[in-house]
Amino acid sequence: MIEDIIREREKKRSELKKLGKDPYPATITRTHSIGEVLDSFADLSKSKKKVAIAGRVMGWRVQGGVAFADLRDENGKIQTVIKKDNLADFELLKNNLDIGDFLAVEGPVFKTQRGEKSVEAKKVTVAVKALRPLPSVWHGLKEVEERFRKRYLDTLLNADVKEKLAKRSEVVGHLRSALAKEGFLEVETPILQPIPGGATARPFKTHHNALDVDFYLRVAPELYLKRLLVGGFEKVFEIGRNFRNEGIDRDHNPEFTMLELYWAYQDCKGLMKFVEKLLKPFIKGKFKTVAFSDLIKNWESVKPEQLDEIFKKEARPKIKEPTFVTDYPEVIMPLAKLREKNPKLTESFQLIVNGSEIVKGFSELNDPVVQRAQMERQEKEHRSGNEEVSRLDEDFLEALEYGMPPAAGLGLGIDRLVTLVTGAHSVKEIIAFPTLRPKE
């Protein structure tokens, strides 16, 4: 039983403390990561220079007066040979160490008779005494949700999960670097907003006690980023969390990470070329282009509130190769600039890959009179019971009346992009701590 194991480990913790060994020291000595030791092994072995490493015990074997501990840190794993002749407290370690504990070890490196790279321990410090044992079976765990609940075990015991999360960081780093090279300025906008806007989504509501005012967790930063265009900035972007009170599936988590950018004096077509350039390192294959009207025939006869859902359910899942779907109807893209030749359509696009929307972009609507009419229509829908439509934002409309330059903007779903890049089955796999129903 797990309770018996924990009690036994607590006894070992007490024994260490009783004999003056702090099982949770504030400071340990570490000169090299395990990866650095392995990379420089030949030179370290030749110089007989001592190294100080630290890591979690992933293997523990005792043979008479010798113990073998397999230590692992973030960069690698190496064997440590602990000899009774080298350590006065050998018996204490022998009797009170377990798999899962952390050790700090100092000593020279060498190869065993079997040729295994090792560290000969001249000094051993218990860095952490773990009270719970690591699971003996994890890769074959049938209840996938349990993996997500205990993500720390998932990353510890499943290298593939850890690699996916590391890849996420790499993707975000590339995007930041690429945008900086193009002259974009990274900014931050409010997450607590008095009016939820910038996307069609049901928001989360909260309350600020000191002000006695309700706020909403943002569904998108769009309207604030556009205010910065009014304020004289020409290339801005933000990478941050958005929150939408919606269902959870392969493509959706209630809190998710978006990249949004806005580019003055750019239009929809130029933005599509930029997106292709930006994502070339991650999305292989030739980018195609198809009009919305070619996918949803006779779309004008469909009720506006159903049109987007029909596209998502019937057309989008069939798109596998990277495809720009363009010229969305105005009822789907209320913040986009209308096409001159057909005002029912907008200068807009979505990049769809493997049935998922990766990017949405458009030429920004900057006519304050038209934008007000759009927002008033949406506010009317909201009052009729539609909690997902964007609200009328007087402060944003006032900013727009001062003049916003011609611009194009986009939103890029970081979670979906990383899901695609890593070959993950859902966004849950590449979010470190996805949203789950609390255990009862």
Supply the CATH number for residue 12's domain. Answer: 2.40.50.140
Residue pair 243/220 in contact (Cβ under 8 Å)? The answer is no
Q: Tell me, what amino acid is at 309?
A: E
List, for residues 95-130, the tens digit of each pLDDT value: 999 999 999 999 999 999 999 999 999 999 999 999
312: confidence class by pLDDT, cuts 50, 70, 90: very high
Q: What is the CATH number of the domain that holds 418?
A: 3.30.930.10
Q: Taken in order 280, 284, 288, 291, is the CA torsion positive or negative?
A: negative
In a domain, 290, yes or no: yes
Please check whether residues 154 and 232 belong to one and the same domain.
yes
39: confidence class by pLDDT, cuts 50, 70, 90: very high
Please check whether residues 154 and 235 belong to one and the same domain.
yes
Q: How many domains does the chain have?
A: 2
In a domain, 438, yes or no: no
Q: Which domain holds residue 53?
A: 2-128
Please check whether residues 71 and 167 belong to one and the same domain.
no
Within a 10 A sphere around the Cβ of 121, how many other Cβ atoms?
23
Residue pair 430/168 in contact (Cβ under 8 Å)? The answer is yes
CA distance 80 to 96: 17
List, for residues 157-197, the tens digit of each pLDDT value: 999 999 999 999 999 999 999 999 999 999 999 999 999 98
Please check whether residues 45 and 152 belong to one and the same domain.
no
Closest to 118 measured CA to CA, from 93, 81, 89? 81
CA distance 266 to 367: 16
In a domain, 136, yes or no: no
In a domain, 185, yes or no: yes
Please check whether residues 170 and 301 belong to one and the same domain.
yes
Please check whether residues 82 and 223 belong to one and the same domain.
no
Domain edge (last residue) among 70, 100, 128: 128
Q: Which residues in 270-372 belong to E strands, given as ranges?
A: 288-291, 323-326, 348-353, 356-363
Q: DSSP states of 35-64 as a string?
A: HHHHHTHHHHHHHT--EEEEEEEEEEEEET
| Strands across the sheet containing 204-208 | 192-193, 213-217, 204-208
In a domain, 439, yes or no: no
Domain edge (last residue) among 75, 101, 128: 128
Q: Tell me, what amino acid is at 423?
A: G
Residue pair 89/57 in contact (Cβ under 8 Å)? The answer is no
Q: What angle do CA 353, 433, 421 make, to 5 degrees?
A: 25
Residue 139, pLDDT > 70, answer no
Q: What is the pTM of this model?
A: 0.92
Distance of CA 403 to the CA centre of its chain: 36
Q: Which helix (H) or strand (E) holds 294?
A: helix 292-295
Please check whether residues 172 and 120 belong to one and the same domain.
no
Closest to 321 measured CA to CA, from 370, 358, 286, 367? 286
Please check whether residues 222 and 316 belong to one and the same domain.
yes
List, for residues 212-257, the tens digit of each pLDDT value: 999 999 999 999 999 999 999 999 999 999 999 999 999 999 999 9
Please check whether residues 154 and 23 belong to one and the same domain.
no
Please check whether residues 249 and 376 belong to one and the same domain.
yes
140: confidence class by pLDDT, cuts 50, 70, 90: low
Q: Which residues pair with 68 in a beta bridge?
A: 61, 81
More confident: 164 or 342:
164
**Residue given tokens 């539609």 in the structure block:** 386
